[in-house]
């Protein structure tokens, strides 16, 4: 016999098709079939190509018409071949027939079909919308070649992660073996002069290797050479983005070699990076992404920033193929240990963390997104339970029809197939409608979510989402259709025929329907509790005090070019001049400068040492937030001065170095002592600082952060190029933006000013994500509640319809309308009570997952639980009251005469 | 193995595919692909059995005792993984009964003039 040498692809394809058959069938004759197919394939291949095409077509058909009935009928095989054959002729014809029949059946009960499709479409639509976001942010790979190998490398001394230093990066790069390439990058805005107004662009100070790490290719010119970025040999060059090139220079190819002034320094443009690296392509633009201009790391404006021990530079690297982040981390840890020994002062306890870039980017939003996905999954489950219930009620009405078909010889498999086809038609219709709902919902969602969450710009129902929705719809159809179909296809022939088709459908079926309702009420309660907890968080957040006055406060940022302000005295002079001009602007109540505006995303921090206390072991020094502020800062911000004084004009560069600390700082550093006159020093500065005042704690980064020690130093004693204006105005702060900017420009016309925002808008942005999530969950909970109400109503109404005769008899025997109502409502409440107990247990188990999103409310907050249960109970009561009222109006004469 | 007293009428009428398989196995044991080839040859290219149809039928017929597998008894030089099928005594009787039933049908058709001149 010939060897069965057919192409591996064909063999695999047929093996795949064989999976359509039930496992037992495959185990028995699968190998034989594959062998027979291989023989046929060889014969046909010898004939012609078109013969092969015909073979594949016939094989597909053969699989479809045999595998499906084999799966459906296997359980009910009859020992005689002919009997098994009877129900299974021509599967495709059967399917078409089933679909036609399903459409007819659904058309006859239009109300039912509409309710079912709309219910499911709500569930599917919510899932499509949330999944679009999850897909874009969590699932889609970053837009870099082999992006899964791009990692961030951080330093750590035990708590949290920090950036690295230039010499450290060089050691890592030279001594590790896990990376194809490693690079440094530091995001910082850059001033570009040359147009009508000075402009601030998003810059990154990088090593030449960055472009290799992320796989960025220039569309014009070239990227940096190693010697151009190295601090010892750096050149005044720049690489700009496609966006900046087209927006500002009209995509003029003559940009190459042109000199532009960045941060006050002339630089030659040597390349333009392609459009695939524009902002908004990744879930978030961090570290080196979304950059408009790349400059040599050597020119990083903080001159001290490159020294050993600093934490200013982000390190991004590309792993060698096959190397895991954990292995790379272990590799680098060896280098870090070497550095600890070589530089005990700056590298004490300093080691490394290697994290995949994508994971790092999305780690903040992941919990929220997964919670949202869970919530919409619950909504869909509730919708399924509801439709399953509707189907069961409907199946009960159709029992006579099903019994008849069964009596006429349709097997159970055949009936299940018919009923499942109806579910599928419903599910697919819901899928189509749900996709439309999803597209609309997505638009609403984009409008709802604040910009600082960073939803990708190209968020849309794309092919992946469509495939997901289609799959979900089919799954939905099976989930809500299979059980009812199974139940309904088991009609008790005798009972049905004897009762003239008015069967009450057995206790088992009623228990099953009750179970569905209990399940959906319980699931709704879980969602309600979640929504309640999040809403309470939002309220708590709304009422949270940041520790300063938030109204009528204008903020803006600027940065002095190091080329023109080389001396601290020059900077101080500039700051004094603009403060004076700004103070003179009508409508400005009070104005101050600070290095970082609270809630702006900027902020400083570092370790400190207390005078007169034994220095703690290197690496375990206490930590404080830091800020550099001008006189009148605390007055302008409305931060209460608890002790001593705030900074004054006398705190100049030549005066005693002083500091103002927060209450928490004072308590931490000098517990039980008077902090005034005590001294401490910050790691970054050598001088001892004398405490002259104690102020109230404020929240600087977010509402969620724990109260941290805060230390302030005067602007004049440590002037830096980066500063922010804070102005308390008498009227609308944004209206004052233009005159204040003019005041700055009257001192230096080349000074760009950016991020002009009111404090209220910064706080709104800080509260935004929590607000958006809670609104979404509240919407889902509302839908769930509505669906649950429909479910309860459906079950109770059905119960009443079924028991009309019994109710009639009871009333004929003297039961009052009230007794009847109590009976019906009581039953609804019993179901609700059971569901509430289950739901509370479920919510208690699940609310812990919400913990990271909660603010000022415990996951097991009793108020929320009781409120959610009460709302649900009220809705359930109403939903059973309506059918109960109908029951109470039963006319015994009519009810009994129906027989 | 099979009880000779099982009435063959229980199996009639056979499905065409089943009758074709019984016919193909009439002159000795064959493996699956050989059955497909034999059916094709005998029908002069009209009957192309596909693997799914063939093996479903073979399984049913094996369960009903019409055919049996001959484990490990391949023809010389044949592929060892192949299973061969042969008729059981019952299968042979059922095939004969079906043939007689068809013959009777043909006779009837002829007497009614459906097949042209008798």
Q: SS in 3 state form for A449-470?
A: CCHHHCCCCCCCCCHHHHHHHH
Q: Is residue B58 part of a domain?
A: yes
Contact by Cβ (8 Å): A776, A527: no
What is the distance in angstroms between the Cα of B7 and the nearest Cα belonging to chain A?
12
Contact by Cβ (8 Å): A817, A793: no
| CB contact (8 A) between residue B11 and residue A80 | yes
**Does B17 contact chain A (CB < 8 Å)?**
no
| pLDDT single digits (tens) A112-147 | 788 888 888 988 999 998 898 888 888 888 878 888
Model confidence at A3, pLDDT cuts 50, 70, 90, reads very low
Residue B99 CA to residue B46 CA, distance in Å, equals: 20
Residue A644 belongs to what H/E stretch? strand A641-644
- For CA atoms A687, A692, A694, A697, the dihedral sign is negative
CA end-to-end span of chain A: 75
Choose the mutation target among B19, B37, B52, B75 for the interface with A, i.e. most A CBs under 10 Å: B52
**Does A23 contact chain B (CB < 8 Å)?**
no
Average pLDDT in chain A:
83
pLDDT at A2: 46
pLDDT at A694: 95
What is the distance in angstroms between the Cα of A525 and the nearest Cα belonging to chain B?
50
Residue A175 belongs to what H/E stretch? helix A166-175
A864, A851, A802: which is closest to A528 by C-alpha? A864
Strands A237-241 and A293-296: antiparallel
Residue A477 CA to residue A629 CA, distance in Å, equals: 63
pLDDT at A838: 93
Mean pLDDT confidence for A564-584: 87
Contact by Cβ (8 Å): A322, A180: no
Residue A887 belongs to what H/E stretch? helix A862-888
Residue A575 CA to residue A561 CA, distance in Å, equals: 13
Contact by Cβ (8 Å): A267, A237: yes
Please list every residue in chain A whose beta carbon sits closer than 8 Å to the beta carbon of residue B51.
33, 36-37, 40, 59, 62
Mean pLDDT confidence for B17-38: 89
> Is the pLDDT confidence value at B111 over 90?
no
In this structure, of A76-90, A606-620, B40-54, the range with the lowest mean pLDDT score is: A76-90
Residues 78-117 of B with CB under 8 A from A: 78-79, 81-83
> Is the pLDDT confidence value at A661 over 60?
yes
- For CA atoms A231, A233, A237, A240, the dihedral sign is negative
Higher pLDDT, A802 or A269: A269
> Is the pLDDT confidence value at A508 over 80?
no
| CB contact (8 A) between residue A85 and residue B33 | no
Please list every residue in chain B whose beta carbon sits closer than 8 Å to the beta carbon of residue A33.
32, 51-52, 55
Size of interface A-B (CB pairs under 8 A): 82
Q: Is the peptide bond before B13 cis (omega within 30 degrees of 0)?
A: yes
Mean pLDDT confidence for A191-199: 73
Tell me the residue range of the domain where B95 lies. Answer: 9-111
**Does A820 contact chain B (CB < 8 Å)?**
no
| CB contact (8 A) between residue A35 and residue B32 | yes
What does pTM read for this prediction? 0.67
What is the distance in angstroms between the Cα of A24 and the nearest Cα belonging to chain B?
11
> Is the pLDDT confidence value at A839 over 70?
yes
| CB contact (8 A) between residue B33 and residue A39 | yes
> Is the pLDDT confidence value at A217 over 70?
yes
Structure token pair of residue A664: 């928490």
**Does A37 contact chain B (CB < 8 Å)?**
yes
| pLDDT single digits (tens) B70-98 | 865 445 555 556 788 999 999 999 999 98
Please list every residue in chain A whose beta carbon sits closer than 8 Å to the beta carbon of residue B17.
none
CATH number reported for the structural domain that contains residue B30 in this entry: 1.10.10.10
Residue A436 belongs to what H/E stretch? helix A412-448
ipTM: 0.88
Model confidence at A315, pLDDT cuts 50, 70, 90, reads very high
**Does A36 contact chain B (CB < 8 Å)?**
yes
In this structure, of A656-665, A733-742, A751-760, the range with the lowest mean pLDDT score is: A751-760
3-class DSSP state of A653: coil
Q: Which residue of chain A is at minimal alpha-carbon distance from B51? A: A33
Q: Is residue B31 part of a domain?
A: yes
Question: How much is the CA Rg of chain A, to the nearest whole Å?
Answer: 36
pLDDT at A664: 94
> Is the pLDDT confidence value at A788 over 60?
yes
In this structure, of A528-532, A611-615, A634-638, the range with the lowest mean pLDDT score is: A611-615
pLDDT at A852: 79
> Is the pLDDT confidence value at A603 over 90?
no
| CB contact (8 A) between residue B79 and residue A82 | no
pLDDT at A81: 39
Please list every residue in chain A whose beta carbon sits closer than 8 Å to the beta carbon of residue B18.
81
Question: How open is the CA angle B103-B107-B109, to the nearest 5 degrees?
Answer: 115
Contacts of A502 (CB under 8 A, 6+ apart): none
Mean pLDDT confidence for A295-316: 83
Residue A829 CA to residue A521 CA, distance in Å, equals: 11
Taking phi first (over 0 means left), then psi (-120 to 50 degrees means alpha), and beta for anything else, what does residue A45 get? alpha
Residue A71 CA to residue A73 CA, distance in Å, equals: 6
3-class DSSP state of A274: coil
pLDDT at B64: 86
Residue A110 CA to residue A325 CA, distance in Å, equals: 57
> Is the pLDDT confidence value at A662 over 90?
yes
Residue A318 CA to residue A275 CA, distance in Å, equals: 21
Number of domains in chain B: 1
Residue A833 CA to residue A839 CA, distance in Å, equals: 10
Q: Which residue of chain A is at minimal alpha-carbon distance from B79? A: A1
pLDDT at A195: 61
| pLDDT single digits (tens) A232-241 | 888 899 999 9
Residue B43 CA to residue B39 CA, distance in Å, equals: 6
What is the distance in angstroms between the Cα of A8 and the nearest Cα belonging to chain B?
19
Residues 46-85 of A with CB under 8 A from B: 58-59, 61-63, 65-67, 70, 77, 79-82, 84-85
Mean pLDDT confidence for A866-881: 88
Residue A458 CA to residue A442 CA, distance in Å, equals: 12
Model confidence at A866, pLDDT cuts 50, 70, 90, reads very high
| pLDDT single digits (tens) A439-484 | 888 888 888 877 766 677 677 788 888 888 888 888 888 877 877 7
pLDDT at A892: 75
| pLDDT single digits (tens) A57-101 | 788 778 877 877 777 665 444 433 333 333 444 455 567 777 777
Residue A93 belongs to what H/E stretch? helix A91-108
Mean pLDDT confidence for A695-700: 92
Q: Which residue of chain A is at minimal alpha-carbon distance from B13? A: A82
**Does B77 contact chain A (CB < 8 Å)?**
yes
Contact by Cβ (8 Å): A482, A804: no
| CB contact (8 A) between residue B51 and residue A36 | yes
Residue A579 CA to residue A581 CA, distance in Å, equals: 6
Q: Is residue B1 part of a domain?
A: no
Q: Which residues in A400-428 are b (16+ Cβ under 10 Å) and which e?
A: bebbbbbeeebbbbbbbbbbbbbbbbbbb
Residue A820 CA to residue A797 CA, distance in Å, equals: 13
> Is the pLDDT confidence value at A641 over 90?
yes
> Is the pLDDT confidence value at A393 over 80?
no
| CB contact (8 A) between residue A40 and residue B33 | yes
Structure token pair of residue A692: 């002259």
- Cβ-nearest to A29 among B15, B48, B55: B55
Residue B69 CA to residue B73 CA, distance in Å, equals: 9
pLDDT at A492: 59
Structure token pair of residue A293: 């201009």
> Is the pLDDT confidence value at A426 over 60?
yes
Residue B116 CA to residue B118 CA, distance in Å, equals: 6
What is the distance in angstroms between the Cα of B113 and the nearest Cα belonging to chain A?
30
What is the distance in angstroms between the Cα of A6 and the nearest Cα belonging to chain B?
15
| CB contact (8 A) between residue B52 and residue A65 | yes
- Cβ-nearest to A29 among B50, B59, B61: B59
Share in percent of chain A as helix, strand, coil (round to 5): 55, 15, 30
Q: Which residue of chain B is at minimal alpha-carbon distance from A64? A: B52
Model confidence at A328, pLDDT cuts 50, 70, 90, reads very high
A691, A668, A707: which is closest to A547 by C-alpha? A707
Higher pLDDT, A791 or B117: A791
Residue A37 CA to residue A49 CA, distance in Å, equals: 16
Contacts of A398 (CB under 8 A, 6+ apart): A488
Please list every residue in chain A whose beta carbon sits closer than 8 Å to the beta carbon of residue B11.
80-82
pLDDT at A272: 94
């Amino acid at each position: 016999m010939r060897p069965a040498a057919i192409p591996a692809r064909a063999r695999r394809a047929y093996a795949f098709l064989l999976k359509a058959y039930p496992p037992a069938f495959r185990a028995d004759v699968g190998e034989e079939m594959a062998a027979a197919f291989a023989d046929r394939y060889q014969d046909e291949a010898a004939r012609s190509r078109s013969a092969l095409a015909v073979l594949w077509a016939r094989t597909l058909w053969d699989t479809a018409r045999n595998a499906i009935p084999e799966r459906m009928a296997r359980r009910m095989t009859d020992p005689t071949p002919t009997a098994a054959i009877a129900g299974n002729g021509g599967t495709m014809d059967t399917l078409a027939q089933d679909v036609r029949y399903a459409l007819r059946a659904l058309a006859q009960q239009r109300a039912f079909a509409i309710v079912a499709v709309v219910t499911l479409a709500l569930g599917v639509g919510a899932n499509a919308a949330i999944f679009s976001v999850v897909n874009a942010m969590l699932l889609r790979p970053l837009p870099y070649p082999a992006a899964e190998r791009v990692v961030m490398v951080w330093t750590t001394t035990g708590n949290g992660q920090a950036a690295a230093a230039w010499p450290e990066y060089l050691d890592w790069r030279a001594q590790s073996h896990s990376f194809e390439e490693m690079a440094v990058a530091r995001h910082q805005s850059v001033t570009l002069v040359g147009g009508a107004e000075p402009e601030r662009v998003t810059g990154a100070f990088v090593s030449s290797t960055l472009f290799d790490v992320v796989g960025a290719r220039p569309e014009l010119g070239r990227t940096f050479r190693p010697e151009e970025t190295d601090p010892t040999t750096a050149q005044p060059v720049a690489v700009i983005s496609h966006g900046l090139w087209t927006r500002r220079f009209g995509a003029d190819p003559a940009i190459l070699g042109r000199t532009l002034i960045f941060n006050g320094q002339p630089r030659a443009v040597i390349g333009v990076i392609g459009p695939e690296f524009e902002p908004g392509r990744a879930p978030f633009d961090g570290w080196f992404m979304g950059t408009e201009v790349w400059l040599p790391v050597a020119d990083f404006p903080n001159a001290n920033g490159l020294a050993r021990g600093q934490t200013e530079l982000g390190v991004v690297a590309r792993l060698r193929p096959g190397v895991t982040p954990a292995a790379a981390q272990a590799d680098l840890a060896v280098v870090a240990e070497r550095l600890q020994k070589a530089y005990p002062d700056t590298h004490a306890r300093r080691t490394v963390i290697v994290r995949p870039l994508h994971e790092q980017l999305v780690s903040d939003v992941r919990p929220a997104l997964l919670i949202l996905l869970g919530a919409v999954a619950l909504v869909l489950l509730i919708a399924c339970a509801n439709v399953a219930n509707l189907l069961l009620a409907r199946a009960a009405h159709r029992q006579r029809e099903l019994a008849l078909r069964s009596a006429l010889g349709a097997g159970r498999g055949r009936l299940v197939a018919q009923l499942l086809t109806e579910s599928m038609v419903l599910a697919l219709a819901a899928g189509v409608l749900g996709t439309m709902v999803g597209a609309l919902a997505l638009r609403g969602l984009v409008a709802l979510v604040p910009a600082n969450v960073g939803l990708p710009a190209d968020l849309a129902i794309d092919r992946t989402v469509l495939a997901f929705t289609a799959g979900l719809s089919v799954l939905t159809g099976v989930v809500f259709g299979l059980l009812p179909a199974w139940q309904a296809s088991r009609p008790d022939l005798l009972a049905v025929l004897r009762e003239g088709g008015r069967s009450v459908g057995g206790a088992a079926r009623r228990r099953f329907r009750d179970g569905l309702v209990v399940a959906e009420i319980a699931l709704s309660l879980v969602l309600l509790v979640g929504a309640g907890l999040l809403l309470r968080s939002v309220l708590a957040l709304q009422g949270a005090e940041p520790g300063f006055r938030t109204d009528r406060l204008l903020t803006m940022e600027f940065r002095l070019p190091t080329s023109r302000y080389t001396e601290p005295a020059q900077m101080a002079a500039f700051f004094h001049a603009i403060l004076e001009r700004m103070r003179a602007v009508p409508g400005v109540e009070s104005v101050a400068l600070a290095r970082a505006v609270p809630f702006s995303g900027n902020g400083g921090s570092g370790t400190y040492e207390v005078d007169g206390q034994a220095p703690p072991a290197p690496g375990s020094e206490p930590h404080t937030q830091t800020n550099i502020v001008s006189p009148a800062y605390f007055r302008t911000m409305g931060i209460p001065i608890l002790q001593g004084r705030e900074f004054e004009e006398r705190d100049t560069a030549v005066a005693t170095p002083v500091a103002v600390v927060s209450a928490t700082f004072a308590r931490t550093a000098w517990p039980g002592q008077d902090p005034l006159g005590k001294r401490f020093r910050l790691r970054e500065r050598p001088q001892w600082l004398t405490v002259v005042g104690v102020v109230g704690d404020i929240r600087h980064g977010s509402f969620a952060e724990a109260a941290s020690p805060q230390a302030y130093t005067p602007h004049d004693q440590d002037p830096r190029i980066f500063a922010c204006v804070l102005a308390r105005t008498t009227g609308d702060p944004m209206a004052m933006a233009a005159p204040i900017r003019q005041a700055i420009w009257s001192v230096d016309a080349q000074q760009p000013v950016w991020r002009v925002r009111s404090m209220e808008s910064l706080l709104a942005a800080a509260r935004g994500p929590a607000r958006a999530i809670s609104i979404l969950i509240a919407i889902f909970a509302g839908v769930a509640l509505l669906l649950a109400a429909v479910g309860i109503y459906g079950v109770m109404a059905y119960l009443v319809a079924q028991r009309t005769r019994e109710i009639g008899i009871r009333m004929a025997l003297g039961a009052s309308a009230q007794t009847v109502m109590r009976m019906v409502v009581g039953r609804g409440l019993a179901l609700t009570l059971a569901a509430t107990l289950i739901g509370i247990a479920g919510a208690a188990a699940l609310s812990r997952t919400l913990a990271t999103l909660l603010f000022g409310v415990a996951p097991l907050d009793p108020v929320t639980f009781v409120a959610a249960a009460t709302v649900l109970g009220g809705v359930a009561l109403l939903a059973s009251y309506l059918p109960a009222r109908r029951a109470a109006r039963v006319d015994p004469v009519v009810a009994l005469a129906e027989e | 193995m099979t009880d000779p007293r099982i009435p063959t009428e229980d199996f009639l009428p056979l499905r065409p595919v089943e009758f074709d398989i019984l016919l193909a196995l009439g002159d000795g044991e064959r493996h699956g692909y050989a059955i497909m080839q034999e059916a094709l040859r005998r029908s002069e290219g009209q009957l192309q059995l596909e693997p799914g149809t063939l093996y479903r039928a073979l399984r049913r017929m094996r369960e009903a005792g019409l055919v049996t597998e001959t484990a490990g008894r391949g023809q010389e030089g044949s592929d060892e993984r192949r299973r061969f099928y042969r008729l059981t005594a019952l299968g042979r009787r059922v095939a004969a009964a079906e043939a007689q039933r068809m013959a009777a049908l043909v006779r009837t058709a002829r007497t009614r003039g459906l097949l042209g001149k008798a």
